[in-house]
Structure 1
Amino acid sequence: MARDIKLIETEDGSHSLYVPELDETYHSFHGAYRESIHVFFLYGLDYWFTHHPHQKPIRVFEVGFGTGLNAWLALVWAEQNKVPLLYHTIEPFPVPEEVYTQLNYKNIDQDIRLYQGAFDELHQADWDKGGAITPYFNMKKDKTTLEDVQLYPTDVVFFDAFAPSKQPELWSKDLLQKVVDAMNPGAVFVTYCAKGQVKRDLAAAGLQVDTLPGPPGKKEMVRGVKL
């Protein structure tokens, strides 16, 4: 069943989607593009690669394919750095074509317009199958929930679920533990959420948790490293 969603523009000019049913957006009002770069790349993928420059391919697991922004930026990162990524993402409510084709991410940064066509390819890729999108980016996109997904060994986790106040079940101790159990030693978990209970649950699950400066409009975010 598809969700009712509406296209909105955030403060950095990039689009996001608003879900009236949850009164929630897919990204920060203060800038969808800036939030993704800050949380998932600066403090996530870039951080991991700095500490493991010779370990390839890198295995990334994303909770919430959503607009495809994180996956597309990961593809661009892989191609620009010539580092193979195996990207596993889940989404129980895929964004329909008439919506994702309106998203303006391909026009936000001139340096990555070379990869414009790949954005649509990510959305058009078959669900529940894996395969190469570009020479350095392989993706498996599962139309399922975090409760039901089969996880693989992971180096970096992009935990981009809706906020705990909107979908608390996605932040339960059991599901956080499920994700942490699939992480390799030294793996990194990043999320925009900095709630105290989430930090305590991640620490109890086996992560060394750090509170870091948040993206524009948000004071803090969280990164956990598998002990």
Structure 2
Amino acid sequence: MKHVELQLTADGSHTLFNAEINETYHNPKGAIAEARYIFIHAGMDAMLERTNSLSILEVGFGTGLNALLTMLRFREFFKLQHVRIRYVTIEPYPLSREMIESLNYKSLLPEGSAERFFDALHDAPWDTDVEVLPWFVLHKRTGKLEDYQAAENSVNLIYFDAFAPSKQAEVWARDNLQKCHQLLQTDGMLVSYCASGQFKRDLKAVGFSATPYPGALGTREMTRAFKKQKPD
């Protein structure tokens, strides 16, 4: 991809800077730390308290960091209980292999499987199901959320990790949030680093119960939004 360059964040992990839109892929204070807090701690871990079967939709595959951390956490849980995960991730602009290989996540993550998992994620072909681990199915989908089609009530956790609304407003449009609401099962959850007032108002307008949650790395808030059962 043109106009993308490597940058080091404060926790020592890499992010990418997209000069075309003047935006980084992760928080400059720490790519790994931010992703672990928002998507694993506040998202995956919270849902695994309720169910051992997760169907995850990620909006924005990017560097693959969220997927990698999800796989590592999956292996931790799998040793304790039988967990199943289906992980669908949408990315309109996949990174080049050269850019992927320049990222330092494999050397920074202490888990012994990080290198193997990271390679498996990026070696997996696009637009097809791949069982990258027993009971962990990955489907990398090229394209935009606007064009994504799937059965209603087929997902119970959404990682909404697109570029900020000020940079990529079309992804955060109310129609896309309505689609996310339709895809989610009752009591399913959407998690995002974004906590803007407009984002939360739009989530509520399409039927979510949007709740503030303490943010990562000094930010005041992030967002967790739930699809609640309709009252009789």
TM superposition score normalised by structure 2: 0.93
Distance 1:10 1:208 in 2: 33
Runs (4 or more) in structure 1 with deviation over 3 Å come to none
Distance 1:182 1:3 in 2: 33
Give the structure 1 partner of residue 76 of structure 2.
Answer: 80
Aligned length: 222
Give the structure 2 partner of residue 33 of structure 1.
Answer: 32
Once the two structures are superposed, what CA deviation does each residue of 1:69-91 show, in whole Å capped at 9, x if it has no partner? 00111111112211111000010
Alignment of 1:10-159 (within 5 A): 10-50=9-49, 52=50, 55-82=51-78, 83-110=83-110, 112-152=111-151, 153-159=154-160
Give the structure 2 partner of residue 164 of structure 1.
Answer: 165
CA contact 2:209–2:225 (8 Å) conserved in 1: yes
Give the structure 1 partner of residue 174 of structure 2.
Answer: 173
Give the structure 2 partner of residue 184 of structure 1.
Answer: 185
Give the structure 2 partner of residue 215 of structure 1.
Answer: 216
Distance 2:199 2:217 in 1: 21
**Residue 94 of structure 1 aligns to which amino acid in structure 2?**
P
Distance 1:36 1:151 in 2: 26
Shift of residue 225, structure 1, vs aligned partner: 0.9
Once the two structures are superposed, what CA deviation does each residue of 1:146-173 show, in whole Å capped at 9, x if it has no partner? 0111234111100000000000011111
Distance 2:165 2:200 in 1: 12
Give the structure 2 partner of residue 5 of structure 1.
Answer: 4
Distance 2:98 2:109 in 1: 23
CA contact 1:188–1:226 (8 Å) conserved in 2: yes
Distance 1:151 1:202 in 2: 20
**Residue 128 of structure 1 aligns to which amino acid in structure 2?**
D
Distance 1:125 1:68 in 2: 12
**Residue 91 of structure 1 aligns to which amino acid in structure 2?**
E
CA contact 2:61–2:90 (8 Å) conserved in 1: yes
Distance 2:64 2:48 in 1: 22
SS of corresponding position for 1:216: coil
Identity of aligned residues (%): 40
Point out where structure 2 has 5 or more consecutive residues left out of the alignment: none
Shift of residue 107, structure 1, vs aligned partner: 2.1
Shift of residue 106, structure 1, vs aligned partner: 1.5
Once the two structures are superposed, what CA deviation does each residue of 1:24-78 show, in whole Å capped at 9, x if it has no partner? 011000100011011111111111111x1xx342100000000000011111111
Once the two structures are superposed, what CA deviation does each residue of 1:123-164 show, in whole Å capped at 9, x if it has no partner? 121111111001131101101100111234111100000000
CA contact 1:107–1:113 (8 Å) conserved in 2: no
Point out where structure 1 has 5 or more consecutive residues left out of the alignment: none
**Residue 53 of structure 2 aligns to which amino acid in structure 1?**
P
- What is the alpha-carbon root mean square deviation over aligned residues? 1.1
SS of corresponding position for 2:113: helix
CA contact 2:156–2:185 (8 Å) conserved in 1: yes
